[in-house]
Structures are given as structure tokens and as C-alpha cells.
Amino acid sequence: MGSTGTTLRALRGAQKSSKGVSLYSRYLNRPAGRLLAAGAWRAGLTPNHVTGISAGFTFASIAAVALVEPGWWLGVAVYAGLALGFAFDSADGQLARLTGRGGPDGEWLDHVVDCAKMILVHTAVLIAFHRFVELPSDTWLLLPIGFQFAAVLTFCAGLLREQLGKAAAGAASLAAGAPAPVSRVRAVALLPADYGVFCLVFLLLGAPRGLPRRIRGAGRGARPVPGGVPGQVVQGAESAPGGLTSTSSARRSWVLDVCTVYGK
């Protein structure tokens, strides 16, 4: 095996085209994947091994969203796990192109993991909303379902376009000459749809206004403080007639913040 520097130089030549790639993937995820691919190559791992590592980080993080009560530590851990899983997802393809060990089986496994990730990440958000958050309306539960549909549709459409492009590349590649430069405007416009950027949303799992279900009952006895500022409450008493409890408004505000950012 050559040095790590030699491996990294070889991996730079094993990159896919930057066409249709956002700035995050081009300047953050792919370089991170290149480092991971170099480490995997020196450790003697195969592309399928790297795909398995990517799936481990990704699915463990997704399960935590659905099963663990929200908190700051969870948000950081989930984001780190999803981002690492995404970087390893880039590394497996780079390692396959470097070693020439890629094939239909490895490509199939990679696409199956990607498809499962697209479905489960939005399902986990739906479950977390249902388990840990008292929503203003059940209609908000349609938001993760809508984004799940959009993510799967985009994934399948991109995969189909890639396959159809390969079929038509034979005659066009020689006639086209050098590829056209990648539009920087398009690369920026693709950022909201980039999976790596989407993962940042999970840092909101620790938003301070989020109220876990198990402590909601403590706030139901809150009442406004006489003469106090709006929203100031004390615990242990029923709400005054016409008064607003702070727990419901804070919870509703947190949910709207999460849904707004999640929907961007």
C-alpha cells in the first residue's frame, strides 16, 4: 500500500462529476469522504464494509430521534451521526472507484441503504412529534410525510436520470467535448435540498422551549402572576379564568419553530 498522501491524490482523480452537486457536498462531504476512503483503504476495508459503517451511523441516529427524549446532547449526537454516515456514504463510492472493486452488488447495496435512509429519517421525525411534542393540531403530522414523499421522489428521479444518462452517454460523450463549467448559482440553489444541510435541522432537538411529554402535567396548573408581565406564571395552581398558561404557548412556539425550519 502507498502512503496516505499518494492515496488521497489518487482519490482526487476518482471523483464523480460536480454537475448537479451542491456546495456542501462538493466542498465538505466529498473531501471528508475522501479522507475516510483513504483510511478505509489503508485498513483493508472493502466498499461494502464502508457502506455498512455508513448505515450503522445513519440508522442509529435515526432510531435515537424516534426513541430518545429530545435534548441538546441528543441533537448534537444525532447531527454528528448523520453527518458521519453521509460522509461514509461518499467514501464507499470513492473507494470502489479507486480499487476497481465496485460492482452491481455494491451499487445495489448503496442505493438500498440510501433509499431506506430517505424513508426512515422523516418517519423518525413523525414518531418524535407524536411521542414527545403536543402539537397545536394533528395537521402538523402531515409535514414529515410530505417531505418524505418529496425526498423519495427526488431520490428516485435522480437515480433514474443517472441510469438513463449512462445509457445515452456513449454517442454524446465524444461529440460533446469538455464538460460545461458547473454553475455556482445552481450549486448554491441546491443547498436546501442537500441531505447534509438538512441534517442541521436535528440540532433543534435541544431547543429550550421544547417540553417533554413527561413534564407537561407540571405546567397545567400554572397561572398568570397577578400584576406580572404577560406569560409569567407560577406553578401549582389552576389557571385564572381567561388566563393563558405559559406551557401551551411555549410548546406551540417551539413546534412552530421546528416545523418552520424543518420545512425550509
Of the pLDDT bands very low, low, confident and very high (cuts 50, 70, 90), residue 208 is low
- Count CB neighbours of 69 within 10 A: 14
pLDDT digits (tens, 9 = 90+) for 64-88: 999 999 999 999 999 999 999 999 9
Say whether pLDDT at 119 is over 60.
yes
**Residues 127-150: tens digit of each pLDDT:** 999 999 888 888 989 999 998 998
Tens digits of residue pLDDT in 19-72:
656 788 888 998 899 899 989 988 999 999 999 999 999 999 999 999 999 999
Q: What is the mean pLDDT of residues 76-105?
A: 91
The answer on pLDDT for 171 being more than 50 is no
Contact criterion met (CB below 8 Å) for 196 and 28:
yes
Contact 62, 85 (CB under 8 A): no
Could you give phi then psi for residue 22, rounded to 5 degrees? -75, 170
User: Cα–Cα distance between 115 and 203 in angstroms, integer?
Assistant: 23
- Cβ-contact 221, 238 below 8 angstroms: yes
Compute CA distances 126 → 30, 102, 112, 199, 200, whole Å.
Answer: 30, 35, 22, 15, 17
